[in-house]
Amino acid sequence: MAGTTALPLQQFIASLDNTCLPRILQVCSGVYFQGSIYEISGSEVSFSTGDLVKIISIELISVCCEDISNNEKFDLPINHTGLFKVVPETLPYNTIEEMISLRPVGLESCLPFTFTNHSKMTFDNFTLGAGRTLTVISTERQEGQEDQVRCHVKGQQGASAEVCIPLSAHGEFSECENEERFTLQEIMSSPCLRSRRFRFVNTTKCEQPLVLSPVYQVHGIMNLRKNILKFPSSLEVDVVDVTELCKDVNFVTPLSLTEVLSQPDESFPAVVEILECPETRSLFKCSWLPELNRNSHLVIHKKKNTPMVLLSSSKSRKAQQYFLVSEQYGGRFRRRPREFNSVYEVYVASIQAPGLKISVTRNCEDVEEEGLPSLSVGEQLQVVRCDRMDLPCTGSTAQKQSVEALLCQRLQEPDDEDDDDEEEGVKQENEKEEIFLPLYMPGHFVEVLSDNKKYKLRDLGKEFSLPLDVKIVSRDTEMKTDPLFGLASLRIEGAMLEPTIQASLPHSPDHCFEIPTQWVSMSVSFTKDPLPWPSDQPPEFHVDRVTEVTDTFFYEFHKQGNPEEAPPPRPPKGNLSSTKSCKKSKKSKADKSKQRADKSDPIKKIADLTLNSKKRPPAPPPPSISDDQPPPLAPRKHSIDVTKGKALPNTYVQRQDPKKKVPLCDIEADVDSDHDYETVDETLMTMMKAAQENVQFF
């Protein structure tokens, strides 16, 4: 920057107009020496020492007014309707020409104006004394002669005269305050007026002289800045004009992939440089993605809108895979029957495929209270429509409930013996059984297909509704390795028309891949590098038509397609009143049976001996010897063979005569009780009676 002069940004911009643009400026110094950051209308603008800014346009937006007396500043919009008048200069002018040069460009438009002569002057035969006031009427221009101004002079006693004064006349001249009025736009459009001081015509606003300075909205570009910068010219930085020194400087403009699509077709093929690489957590799992690094190059061949479909592998695999496949894929597919795990899934599929036929793959028991019919394995059903069905009432006071259900027809399997009987077949068709399947009903079904045709990928999307289960039967022969071939089953989740960019890497320009611009976030810049092949011998291009994606891509795709997908219906709630009454009746009956059971000692003791008892009561103390009871068996304790591993008899439990036990038939039974306690049948009582007699025998 040797030999150049630094100027404040505001002063430099004020000296420009749109005819001399663009200009290249270099930031050299200012209040923010190491850099400046400004927050302007929500956008951050930063300048550092040495930055280059290319000014492409300027726009006048406001006027800065500075009060000379106290250096206070305020801004006025350029469309301000107030008027201003010129404040006369305190220092005198030396020549008429100097004074005239500071008038507006169109001198005749602001005539007449008045000035005072402070020195004695003589023009030809006319002498002008000091202190006279002169009013400029017009300018006189004659070829071969010096330009003059025609002035009107008032003499003593009301006399007046006109005199022509050459512009080069010397003396001391000072302006008089005139009644001329100017708007802000008139002042800003004249460089001469911008250098003058003004005062409001309406003195109530500000009586002090003001210096008016234009404030421009500067539009510029910087290297590696994506958008056009917009900043005011009032920034306190110094700049240097380096337009001549930086003619060959290339200002790189970063472009997103979406902005690359807006470029004309003539811009391709081209070599671009990657300025920002895709995010590390990408939506794609492919070989070309790790190659897209910062500062690396990429060959863009063309742009287009590519029809694509999203495929997913079967859920039975350990790691489910997802693929984004172009409809130009050359493999062949065959339809696979879909599996459904609920009636609601069957209903969703029937909306897209009317007349859907399904086969039951797991038995289903009849539940009358919930309206669930019985289904057997192998039964075939045909969906008719979605309707409402009434659930059976569980009690006399229960309210009638209606739920959504799928109306289906049972399909009769053809009988080999009656194939020739057409009349009987017609009769069976007319008497098809109709059943209702509630939408909340779980079940296991499989679609019944009779189609064994091979389809191309683009034909499947046209003839059938999605999602659709398929199986690949032949690979794409144009691909070296087909990742779809060999998978047991695939599901076509959805289709889309995706704007893509066909690109390749410089070291293998013939191996092309398609970049979906809406799913890859990166920025590039066009370069002037030559294409990596001879200009007259382009290679034969091979495009990858299958791109593996992550499960995140799959979920994001479904969010866009079904943002508010309704959940499946829930089973209806039971009748609360009938449920409560049922519980109360059961509780009362159980309490009544418990009270009756406590009255009989044998039943209570038998219950204590059962294994269902959580806590057995402690053993009673040894009984006292009485005459009416059998003698204790303690003396026979030593005669028991311990080596045989038999359990010792309990000598602390009192034995009772079974003859004195109350028989079960004499116990009052509660016939109406529907309690859930265990009952002792006659067989069990007979076995227990025999066991007690054997104990007494020993």
- Over residues 181-236, the pLDDT tens digits come to 888 888 888 777 788 888 888 766 667 888 888 989 888 888 777 677 888 888 88
For the cut 60, the answer to whether the pLDDT of residue 592 exceeds it is: no
Whole-number pLDDT of residue 514: 92
Pairing of strands 322-326, 542-543: unpaired
CA distances from 477 to 258, 330, 490, 514 (A): 32, 7, 19, 19
- The residues near 50 (Cβ < 8 Å, ≥ 6 apart) are 26, 27, 28
CA 358 to chain centre: 38
Alpha-carbon torsion, ordered 547, 551, 556, 559, to 10 deg: 120
How far apart CA 207 and CA 179 sit, in angstroms, is: 16
C-alpha–C-alpha distance, residues 280 and 521, integer Å? 11
Cβ contacts of 360 within 8 Å, gap of 6 or more: 375, 376, 377, 378, 379, 380, 381, 443, 444, 445
Q: What is the pLDDT of residue 269?
A: 92
Q: Which range has the worst mean pLDDT, 35-44, 127-136, 364-373, 535-544?
A: 35-44
Tell me the average pLDDT across 548-566.
78
Q: Is the peptide bond before 438 cis (omega within 30 degrees of 0)?
A: no
pLDDT interval class at 586 (50, 70, 90) = very low
> Tell me, what's the pLDDT at 622?
52
Q: How far is residue 577's CA from residue 338's CA, in Å, rounded to a whole number?
A: 42
Question: Which is more confident, 366 or 542?
Answer: 542
Check pLDDT > 70 for residue 54: yes
Which two three-digit tokens encode residue 507?
Answer: 């070291």
CA distances from 170 to 121, 125, 469 (A): 9, 17, 102
The residues, ordered by sequence, that sit 6+ positions from 534 with a Cβ below 8 Å of its Cβ are: none
* Secondary structure string (H, E, C) spanning 138-179: EEECCCCCCCEEEEEEECHHHCEEEEEEECCCEEEEEECCCC
312 Cβ neighbours under 8 A, 6+ residues apart: 320, 321, 322, 323, 490, 491, 493, 554
| pLDDT-based confidence at residue 501 (cuts at 50, 70, 90) | very high
Residue 596: band (very low, low, confident or very high) from pLDDT cuts 50, 70, 90: very low
Q: How far apart are CA 154 and CA 138, in angstroms?
A: 16
CA angle 6/9/10 to nearest 5° reads: 130
Q: Which two tokens stand for residue 355?
A: 């007349």
Cα(381)–Cα(433) distance, integer angstroms: 10
Instruction: State how far the Cα of 471 lies from the Cα of 220, in Å rounded to an integer.
Output: 58
What percentage of the chain carries pLDDT values higher than 70? 71
Q: What is the mean pLDDT of residues 161-179?
A: 82
* pLDDT tens digits along 16-36: 877 888 899 998 865 443 445
pLDDT of 300 reads: 94
> Which own/partner contact pairs does 10-18 have at CB distance under 8 Å and 24+ positions apart?
10/213, 10/215, 10/233, 10/234, 10/235, 12/239, 12/241, 13/55, 13/58, 13/216, 13/218, 13/233, 14/194, 14/213, 14/214, 14/216, 14/233, 16/55, 16/58, 17/58, 18/57, 18/58
Cα separation, 690 vs 131, in Å, equals: 156
341 pLDDT tier (thresholds 50, 70, 90) = confident
Residue 503: its pLDDT value, please?
Answer: 94
Length of the chain: 698
- The sign of the dihedral angle between the CA atoms of 126, 128, 134, 139 is positive
Query: pLDDT (tens digit, 9 = 90+) per residue, 600-642?
Result: 454 444 445 444 444 455 555 555 444 455 555 554 544 444 4
Task: Copy the structure tokens of residue 475.
Answer: 């690979």
Name the percent of the chain in helix, strand, coil, to the closest 5: 20, 35, 45
Closest CA to 383 of 448, 335, 453, 469: 448
Q: What is the pLDDT of residue 661?
A: 42
pLDDT class for 103, splitting at 50, 70, 90?
low
| pLDDT tens figures, 283-327 | 898 888 889 998 899 999 999 999 999 999 887 667 889 999 998
Dihedral sign computed on CA atoms, order 551, 557, 560, 566:
negative
Q: Which of the residue ranges 73-77, 105-109, 341-345 would you say has the lowest mean pLDDT?
A: 105-109
CA distance 123 to 153: 13
Asked whether the beta carbons of 514 and 306 are under 8 A apart, the reply is yes
DSSP character string of 547-571: EEE-HHHHHHHHHHH-TTPPPPPPP
